[in-house]
Amino acid sequence: MAEEEVTRRLTTVVAADVAGYSRLMGADDEGTLAALRNHRRELIDPEISDHGGRIANTAGDSILIEFPSVVEAMRCTLNIQRSMAERNRRTPEDRRIEFRVGINVGDIMEHKGDLLGDGVNVAARLEGLAKPGGICISARVREDVQDRLEVGFEDLGEQTLKNIARPIHVYEVLLENTEEVVTEPPKSAARSSRNHAAIFGLLVFAALSAGGLLWWQPWLEQQMEAVPVESALPLPDKPSIAVLPFQNMSGDPDQAYFSDGMAEDIITDLSKLSGLFVISRNSSFQYRGDSVDVKKVGRELGVKYVLEGSVRRAGDQVRINAQLIDALTGGHLWAERYDGNLDNVFAAQDQVTLRIVEALSVRLAPNEEKRLKRHGTDNALAYDAYLKGWAHFQKETPEDYTRANAYFEAALKLDPGYQRAHAAIASLNYEAMHKEWLAALGAVEAVELQLARKEHLAAVTEPDSVALRLRARITRIRDEDFDTAIALSREAIALTPNDADASVALARNLIFADRASEAIPLINKAIRLNPRHSDSYKSELVLALFLTDDWERAARIGQEAIGRNPNLVEIYATVISALGHLGKKDAAAPVISALQNQRARLGREPYFPKEVRRLVFANPNLDKKLYDGLIKAGLRKFIDWDAVDAATPLSREQARVLLAGHEIAGYQNQSGAGFSSMILWRRRFDNAGVIHSQYYGRETTGRYRIEDEKVCTSWKGGDADCWKISRYPASTPGYRNDYIGIDDDGIIWTFSVVR
């Protein structure tokens, strides 16, 4: 029998689920089901039937319904949500059944009664934004109903929704501040009969099915096949592929680095091709496991093809299995096996890559085929050492940095000209310096890592994307040469057009060059290439939105990112400043508290607004915009100069009693260097004029003496630095600022006695 054809049409789609369903069932499954039955029988079924809804898809505890009229869809959901609110007043708060609803008007595809497509996906995402008992709608829905119904809306602005390529303008329907239930339309015989079960009533069916039970509902003519509400991301306008992590079939978990390295290098090679759309490693590697639903991968990542594979290694012998699959049909395009020793591994990688290019009819641009075969070394053992190092580098701990550095060095001993290893060591030294993990690389001072980074980066004569991104970052921060940094970033993208991190790196350089509006499309491109992206992408997006004065979106997206990942410390200040500019001081207060708590948990100093440059922006007014917002939001300054001016310096005897035989700890604000930085330090003064200082993990011993109203210190025979100490009238508990010291150069430090 011929398969039914797919038809398209414009329609109104409503998506809904039960908020907190798992909690309700866990607390009282029988009571929850009984309550749902009552709501269905007395309220929900009649409403949906009267307004002409048609149930389309069910999946888990989510339901999808189609309405012939957007006005009817809104009337129905308004009546149900308002009536449910009234019913819930008689129910304890922890037992209330509340629905979340999303409504969208959009183009959909229908296949055998199921609704699919972008219009469905948007409705499902709007449902996820709705509050329990609430309704969220798209801008198109608002336009169609605003003059026909007496109902209010709150503009939530454009939202970046998961797996939706474009921002969606969202409105929340105001249920409590509008008229009572809208006037009922006249019933029509043309409307669907009650055999079309209500969307909300069917929630019971979906929930029971998901729980492993089946409750037969007589008003359903047949049981609907469960179809995921979430439709595919729109496919790109070029062949698209995701490379899944290759399975390690060696029987040795320690060989996982090798199978991962195989897959990652194929991703890297494919990313060099402008005629392909290649999903980032960070997203595709999240599907690690023995059994993967390739169709699901294709839907969730928005690609047509998926490459699966496995690696079996025994000594120097390597077997690679690879298969290219059509993610839409699940059919295999080809499957091949490559056997050989370790020295042949590069040829096997090239074969896999070229077979993909051939199968997908990708036209190679000039120099792309040559780039594909550039591995950086012919030494298989050097390559093996590099893969081991890269696996540790990505784990980002001091211990793994130590191991990674050792493997990269081993790779260079085997092949001193291995430029990829040089670039990796340069990146490792740079990151270790900024993370203050000096000891991990055997360094005493940061300058040692700087010299090592320069040496290895200089050895890279044919830079890859990693090396170019690092050079761009250094050029921007150290030299403040924004134009060159942007040019280097564009070179990185030219080498690997599908590298999401390269797009974000270019966006970052544009942001600091006062070209934030150009950065936003690049970040959105990176998010599409890497759908399972880290929240660091959102940090860049929030900063770009902030600098373009889109403070509402910056605050909202930033708060969402913090909610998902409270450790995202770098985003807090931007969110706080945005709230400050919006005049939302009360909303900023919990964010400020969370920021200071996170920094304390990480052993870092409290965050203070800096009057001098915090970030290296090409336009100093951008620093001021950030600073002004922080002050408006109520964030405390590092120094209250009015309090300092009112302070009385300690006498010589008071300073001696305070310091001699004691240990102090506090913060130093080095405001004389281009941009402001806070240094956490400790100093211990003995009774014989010896001082022990510790900061940046480094300990130094010197001499001190007290002269008049000043404390003078000298280190390693250098000239003495003298400080005037006062009790700080504006001290704050927990900030280590009971006292303040200022030297003749304007360097400020606050401290408290800790022992």
What confidence tens digit (pLDDT) does each residue in 327-381 have? 888 888 888 888 888 877 888 888 888 888 888 878 777 677 767 766 678 888 8
- Tell which wins on pLDDT, 360 or 148: 360
State what percent of residues in the chain have pLDDT above 70. Answer: 82
Q: What is the CATH number of domain 534-637?
A: 1.25.40.10
Domain boundaries, the chain: 7-210, 240-374, 534-637, 641-753
Q: Of the segments 167-176, 611-620, 630-639, which one has the largest average pLDDT value?
A: 167-176
> How much is the average pLDDT of 233-248?
87
Among candidates 543, 535, 523, 510, which has minimal Cα distance to 614? 543
Going by C-beta distance under 8 Å and a sequence separation of 6 or more, which residues neighbour residue 448?
438
Q: What is the CATH number of domain 240-374?
A: 3.40.50.10610
Q: How far apart are CA 234 and CA 344, in angstroms?
A: 38
Residue 200: predicted pLDDT: 39
Give residue for tokens 């924004």. 482
Q: How far apart are CA 83 and CA 70, in angstroms?
A: 20
Residue 335: predicted pLDDT: 83
Other CB atoms within 10 Å distance of the CB of residue 716: 8
Mean pLDDT rounded to a whole number for the chain: 78
CATH level 3 topology of 641-753: Lipocalin (2.40.128)
Distances in whole angstroms, Cα of residue 741 to Cα of each of 354, 649, 673: 66, 9, 18
Assigned token pair, 242: 């995701």
pTM listed for this prediction: 0.58
- The CATH number of domain 7-210 is 3.30.70.1230: yes
Q: What is the pLDDT of residues 364-379, one digit of tens each?
A: 776 777 677 666 788 8
Q: How far apart are CA 312 and CA 316, in angstroms?
A: 11
pLDDT > 50? residue 321: yes
**Residue 680 near residue 605 (C-beta atoms within 8 A):** yes
- Determine what percent of the chain falls in helix, strand and coil, rounding each to the nearest 5: 45, 20, 35
Coil, strand or helix at 692: strand
- Tell which wins on pLDDT, 248 or 180: 248
**Residue 137 near residue 103 (C-beta atoms within 8 A):** yes
| Amino acid occupying residue 574 | T
pLDDT > 90? residue 507: yes
Distances in whole angstroms, Cα of residue 205 to Cα of each of 202, 365, 730: 5, 54, 62
Q: Which helix (H) or strand (E) holds 528?
A: helix 516-529
pLDDT band at 531 (very low <50, low <70, confident <90, very high): confident
Q: Of the segments 178-187, 204-213, 302-311, 342-351, which one has the largest average pLDDT value?
A: 302-311
Q: How many CA atoms, within 13 angstroms, populate the side-chain half-sphere of residue 101? A: 28
Same fold flag, 7-210 and 641-753: no
Q: Which helix (H) or strand (E) holds 84?
A: helix 70-88
Q: How far apart are CA 230 and CA 57, in angstroms?
A: 10
Q: How far apart are CA 668 and CA 736, in angstroms?
A: 11
